[in-house]
Chains A and B, each alone.
Chain A
Amino acid sequence: MSMATPITIALAGNPNAGKTTLFNTLTGARQHVGNYPGVTVEKKAGAYTFPSGDEATIIDLPGTYSLTAYSVEEVVARDYLVQEKPDVVINITDASNLERNLYLSTQFLEFGVPMIIALNMIDVAQDRGISLDAQKLSALLKVPVVPIIARSGKGTTELMAAALELARQNAPWDPLYISYGEDVDLALQTMAQRISATGFMTDSYAPRWLALKYLEGDSQIREKGSKADPVVDGELQEIVAKVSEHLLKTMETYPEAIIADHRYGYIKSVLRQEVITHKFDIDRLHASDRIDKVLTNRFMGPLIMLGVLLGLYKFTFTYSQLPVSWFAAFFGWLSANLNTLLPDGHLKSMLISGVIDGMGGVLGFVPLIMFMFFGIAILEDSGYLARVAFMMDRVFRIFGLHGSSVMAYIVSGGIAGGCAVPGVMAARTLRSPRERLATLLTVSFMNCGAKLPVLALLTATFFSRSQAQLMFLLTLLAWVVALTAAKILRLTVLRGESTPFVMELPPYRFPTFRGLVIHTWERTWQYIKKAGTTILAISILIWAMMTFPGLPQSEEENFSRQRQEITASAAQNADAQQLKEQLAAIDTAQAGSTLRHSLAGRIGTAMETVSWLPGFDWRTNIALVGGFAAKEVIVTTLGTAYSLGQTDPEDNATLSETLAKDPRWNPVVALALIVFVMFYAPCFVTVVCISRESGSWKWGLFSICFNTAFAFLLATLVYQGGRLMGFAG
């Protein structure tokens, strides 16, 4: 029998159980899979066609540990199940860690949703000497259980056949009833009866499940309940208060703890019935644990982490040097050819100064970005990044942040090259609103991929001998500043208690070469695409702002008069070389004056009233304003500004060479600019995301003002301090 409409299958399970991998295997999609928990914060949909021709919509739900609304993922997953009522839920479990994974499974069973358990990573479990009896587990839980290996696709055909079979049965939801002991059971019974009698939210939830959520203190359910019927809600709250008081008095515990204990008790009782057997001694350390003994060691771990970080930068800057120089040479050649081919005028100026010298500056760093992403992909796919998060968790607590914030920081560019936008989204995993907000407001301090070309340009120009070491120090600086800012926020506007956190460590996996190439290419392609679209458009607009309205007529005439006078006096002296030099000086003065008179020039010059403190001239000011649109624009704007000021058509110096020759630039100015770029206002898209995620534009605006003020202070300290110490040349 073929089904007329596509069936809906939801993939649910603990974080890092392999949901996204299975989703990709089934749908042929290439959703990003990270070897760390919390990759999926939103649900995604894909299509699947059965061999019989039936079709299914596969929904990848965010990873959750429970169905109680503690975090956004749990709310997303639960709301989906309640509102959309999928035909089948495939509960993906990590077979090597079954006991903990079945905690969520029992909640699905209590919820009553038609479910299949997929025992994923069965190969990893076998390597660890764990043997599982899927049939026995299926018989005990009364749901189909299918062993699979999501990465290779093994067992997925059987899994989907079982899902189709279950969907065809179209059986009514059948909740499992677990006994929670006399006191809780009695309260549950009373509450369920009251819920049934009054029809209290029964169109969405089963009465006993609803009562259970009340006892677990589920804030979302209680909020909905108080809106639906305040009277019944009040009665239920009263029962909860009574049983809580009784449990506290008699057992010194809370209902939610009793419920969790009984759920684990239920799981243990199932597993003990020869469902799971350990071939080896259970205490024997498997490979991942042995590696972790060294890599996450309290003393050696952080040292190894710093070594890995430094190694990554050394690798990136050493091996990308040659291809970066090829790119620079190519853009120089292109610029020189266009210069000879095109007639003088605005179009030529736009193509050379706006497009090639502007956007080319960003594209020139493609090899560097590629090498950096390749290194990061190795760390990520192997599972080492999760260890970095684990080690940083200890530090984060000191600064009033939650362990879950670590991943948001790393995603934002904790090891350089990330993006603050997914970092902001990753903060959704935080349960405490204050910790979440502190994370949202500080993730943008990390060195995202857009800041990389700016940092690479300035470090290559002024600190070429120790580029990797400086990048390493700048990474540490980003962490120190972000954590300090978080601490300041947690002590002032976001004061509050810290919440506990348990970090799980996924097993180490050998990254596949294909996986590394896909990850590297996907990220590099995004960089190229952004440079060719958004950055190109902004670059052209900034060129226009730097070109128009141009010099007033009187000024133009003034320069023409000067040229005539010099030419006339040179005719008498007959010194051709001197004439050439004098005319070139007038050309340079006119180009500079035109730039100053342009719209951008006027804005930049007006900003010099304060920007002299951190040592920025009007060109840098314009670049920084443009950087609010996207940080790469800083490089394109500097490229355009120096290209427009350039009057010698033979001079094809790169931006780096031009900056090195400019007397206004020196290592102190460069360092002040690096610091400012690292910490000033996040880009526009990040600000929008912060506002959206925090639910208020107030916080988006706060991030602009707070970060810019913070960055200005630091950059001023660097510049003025460097000047006082005599480093400014």
Chain B
Amino acid sequence: MWQNIIILFIIVACMFFIGRRIRSQLGGSKTSCGCSCSGCDDKSAKTENCETKPPPPLH
């Protein structure tokens, strides 16, 4: 029983974490890109990214 409670808690936490990531992606991340891929998100704590206007639409 206690195992099932722990597992349920972990699963909910994972869902929350992934859901939050999806939401931040869809909402437009303010970090360099937010994909956390290698060579992509190496921003320094001392720097902050300014909001940059989105590029003009392509259609």
**Residues in A lying within 8 Å of B, measured CB to CB:** 27-32, 42-47, 59, 72, 75-76, 79, 345-347, 350, 369, 373, 411, 417-419, 421-422, 425, 428, 433, 436-437, 448-450, 522-524, 526-527, 529-530, 533-534, 537-538, 540-541, 544, 629, 683-686, 688-689, 692-696, 698-699
Pick the contact of A29 from B18, B34, B47 — CB < 8 Å? B47
Smallest CB separation, B51 vs chain A (Å): 9
Minimum C-beta distance from B48 to chain A (A): 5
* Residue in chain B with minimal CB distance to A524: B38
CB distance from B44 to the nearest CB of A (A): 4
A75 touches B53 (CB 8 A): yes
B 7-42 to A, binary, CB cutoff 8 A, 1 in contact else 0: 100110111011001100110100011111111111
Is the CB–CB distance between A449 and B37 below 8 Å?
yes
**Distance (Å) between the CB of B42 and the closest chain A CB?**
5
B39 touches A685 (CB 8 A): no
Is B7 in contact with A32, judged by CB distance below 8 angstroms? Answer: no
- Name the CB-closest residue of B to A79: B53
Residues from chain A with Cβ under 8 Å of B6 in the complex: 347
**B14 in contact with A685 (CB, 8 Å):** no
A526 in complex: contacting residue of B7, B28, B42, CB < 8 Å: B42
The total of Cβ contacts below 8 Å across the A-B interface reads: 158
Are A685 and B56 also in contact (CB < 8 A) when A27-B46, A526-B41, A541-B15 are? no
B39 partner residues in chain A, CB cutoff 8 A: 32, 373, 411, 417-419, 422, 449, 522-523, 526
**Hey, what's the 0/1 contact readout for B44-59 against A, CB within 8 Å counting as 1?**
1011111011111111
Determine whether the beta carbon of B35 is less than 8 Å from that of A686.
Answer: yes
- On whether A44 and B47 interact (CB within 8 A), knowing A422-B40, A428-B55, A688-B26, the answer reads yes
- Quick check: A685 and B34 within 8 Å, CB to CB? yes
A696/B57 in contact, CB under 8 A: yes
Chain B residues touching A, range: 35 or more
- With a CB–CB cut-off of 8 A, which chain B residues contact A421? 33, 35, 37, 40
Tell me the minimal C-beta distance from B11 to chain A in angstroms.
5
- B38 lies within 8 A of A42 (CB): no
Q: Tell me whether A544 and B38 are in contact (CB under 8 A).
A: no
| A703–B48 CA distance with the chains assembled, in angstroms | 31
Closest-by-CB residue of A relative to B43 is A31
- Nearest A residue to B52 by beta-carbon distance? A42
Known contacts: A433-B58, A695-B55, A696-B57. The answer to whether A540 contacts B35 by CB under 8 A is no
Closest 4 CB pairs of A and B: A695-B57, A419-B37, A523-B38, A537-B14
Whether the Cβ atoms of B58 and A695 lie closer than 8 Å is yes
Is there contact, CB below 8 Å, between B7 and A347? yes
Contact A529 B36 (CB under 8 A): yes
- Does the CB pair A693–B36 fall under 8 Å? no
Contact residues in B for A698 (Cβ distance below 8 Å): 59
> Measured between alpha carbons, how far is A32 from B6 in the docked complex, in Å?
41
Distance in angstroms from B41 CB to nearest chain A CB is 6
